[in-house]
Amino acid sequence: MPDTLTITDNRTGKQYEVPISYGTYPEYGASIPTADLRNIKASEDDFGLLGYDPGFKNTASCHSSITHIDGDKGILRYRGYPIEELAEHGSYLEVAYLVVHGRLPTRDELEAWTHEITFHTYVHESIKKFTEGFHYDAHPMGMLVSTVAALSTFYPEARDISDAENRRTQIVRLIAKMPTLAAFAYRHSKGLPFVYPDNDLSYAGNFLNMMFSIGEPKQPPNPVLQKALEVLFILHADHEQNCSATAMRSVGSSHADPYVSVAAAAAALYGPLHGGANEQVLRMLREIGTKDRVPEFVDRAKSGDFRLMGFGHRVYKNYDPRARILKSMARDVFEVTGSSPLLDLALELERVALEDEYFVSRRLYPNVDFYSGIIYQAMGFPVDMFPVLFAIPRVSGWLAQWQEMLEDPDQKIARPRQVYTGADERPYVPIDERTGADEQVGSPVGAGMDGR
Ligand code: ACO
């Protein structure tokens, strides 16, 4: 007998049976089709029951075979491969191939893929002019969101999202051009001349060169820093159905082209609740200042006065596996860049917090942002660039999610339902007869965010 769930509607006494289905792991992700709840009606003309789930905290929006996270066990795998093994042995482009295609490339396939990406890194000269049009202090993430959307106008054929070969071309272009757009945004904000892509360099090496190169002679970026950036890119390639992946799928579900869909995903990432926590970690460490003040700040976090930034995660209730990799990599980076008092402070903060019952009982561990900001800063990236550094590698994940969504026959245009709580029908009131606030039903615009 198949696994089912029996629901009794106490309004009518009727019973309903809905099927339970499973993904790869029976103990993780058993689900019911919530559309079946529509059959549950209090009366004949009833619309049927809806699921109410703000923020999709317990709603699976798709079947996906890209990324698996087990937050209790601290597991992250792309296409089945543990993140630790990919970070140790892979390159970012190899992992991007894996995420997009579903399997690791052969040597020939990786060479061809790397060649293709390398030779699509240039952008139209008009993009340069476009970037130059931004104000000198424009946020680089605002510039990236805008320029990636602008690419849509250069590749109108990208609108044919039903053609698999055409989609693949746009995927190559997007992965190739993101570092160029990002570096142009940074150089513009510094008033520095743009550096064109150098096809002799690796993906990460080319990005470092476009960011930091000053004049001749040509000096390849430090190999330790290149490797560190590759690892950071690998760790950020995908993270299943997070806010930006959901934006990518939602916008893409209307069959918008991949450039504007990626712009929407990058816009979602721009928000401090998603891509901005590592910047907050840096600010917090600077505020703590010295190791002897760590206990005082831990006490303040325990009293609810503030949150330890870079600690805790909605999904991971164990050590975030990405944070573990970054913690061990930080030493290599600091050997090249010179030691950082912030790293010593972070290590001390982690030690004190993880010995404290408050953090242990709530299963609050360092997340990926705890060490990434310190490393980025040591490498010379300003904090404004942190979400941009997240967006560059995440584009492979967004595009993999987009492809999967388009090829999944179950998927429809994203269009959630709502539970309407507004006024019932009422007659239009002539302007001289209105009483103002008395007629208000629901929250007025500008009512505040109730502490959110
Ligand atoms: N410091 C101190 N206490 C914390 C922290 C923290 N960083 N995080 C959670 N808690 C406490 C809460 O006060 C709460 O305590 P209570 O049960 O006594 O009320 C308990 O732990 C559970 O917290 P929730 O807010 O319910 O957990 P949730 O899963 O909703 O939040 C979040 C996860 C937002 C990441 C949270 O841990 C947090 O704010 N962390 C700091 C910000 C941060 O580092 N964000 C980056 C996340 S990683 C990423 O997005 C790439």
List the domain range (segments joined by +) for residue 357: 284-378
Please give the single-letter amino acid code of residue 111: E
Angle between helical axes of 321-337 and 341-354 (0-180°, round to 10): 150
Distance 56 CA to ligand 1 centre (A): 17
Is there a domain that residue 396 lies in? yes
Q: Edge-to-edge strands of the sheet including 75-78?
A: 67-70, 75-78, 81-82
Q: At what angle do helices 203-212 and 92-101 cross, to 10 degrees?
A: 120
Give a yes or no: residue 300 inside a domain. yes
Mean pLDDT in consecutive groups of 10 residues from the start of the chain, 452 residues: 92 97 91 96 96 94 97 95 97 98 98 97 95 94 97 97 97 98 96 94 96 82 94 97 97 98 97 84 93 95 91 90 93 89 91 94 93 92 94 98 97 96 95 89 71 46
What is the structure's pLDDT at 451?
Answer: 43
Asked about 63 being catalytic, the answer comes back as: no
116 plus 151 within the same structural domain:
yes
**Residue 362 CA, ligand 1 centroid: distance in Å:** 9
Q: Which of 68, 188, 236, 313 is catalytic?
A: 313
Same domain, 297 and 180: no
Distance between CA atoms of 98 and 90, rounded to whole angstroms?
10
Per-residue pLDDT, 448: 67
Please give the pLDDT value at position 306: 85
Shared domain check, 232 and 184: yes
Q: Is residue 174 part of a domain?
A: yes
Structure tokens at 64: 């996906």
Q: Which residue, 378, 397, 428, sits at the end of a domain?
A: 378
The count of structural domains within the chain is: 3
Q: How many CA atoms lie within 13 A of 306 on its CB side?
A: 13
The verdict on residue 418 lying in a domain is no
Atom number of ligand 1 nearest to Cα 311: 7
- Asked if 267 and 206 sit in the same domain, the reply is yes
Q: What is the CATH number of the domain that holds 389?
A: 1.10.580.10
In a domain, 430, yes or no: no
For the CA of 370, the closest atom of ligand 1 is 44
Report the phi/psi class of residue 417: left, alpha or beta, with left for phi > 0 and alpha for psi in -120 to 50. beta
Q: Which of 238, 257, 320, 369 is catalytic?
A: 369
Instruction: Report the residue among 57, 235, 243, 311 best suited for mutation to probe ligand 1: largest number of ligand atoms under 8 A from its CB.
Output: 311
CA of 82 to the centre of ligand 1 (A): 25
Q: Is residue 441 part of a domain?
A: no
Say yes or no: 138 and 243 in one domain.
yes
- pLDDT value at position 450? 54
Residue 95, CA distances (Å) to 68, 102, 107 in order: 15, 10, 13
* 423 within some domain: no
CATH of the domain at 332: 1.10.230.10
Q: Please tell me whether residues 344 and 395 are part of one structural domain.
A: no
Point out the ligand 1 atom lying closest to the alpha carbon of residue 274: 50
446 domain residue, yes or no: no
Same domain, 125 and 169: yes
Task: Say whether both 207 and 321 belong to one domain.
Answer: no
**Residues written for the chain:** 452
| Domain shared by 139 and 235, yes or no | yes
Mark whether 82 and 200 lie in a shared domain. Answer: yes
* Strand partners of residue 5: 18
What pLDDT is attached to residue 33?
A: 96
Based on the fold, state whether residues 227 and 116 are members of the same structural domain: yes
Q: Ligand 1 site: residues with CB under 6 angstroms? A: 274, 277, 301, 307-314, 362, 364, 367-369
What was the pLDDT predicted at 340?
82
120 has catalytic annotation:
no
Shared-domain flag, residues 130 and 245: yes
Question: What tokens were used for 372?
Answer: 């990434």
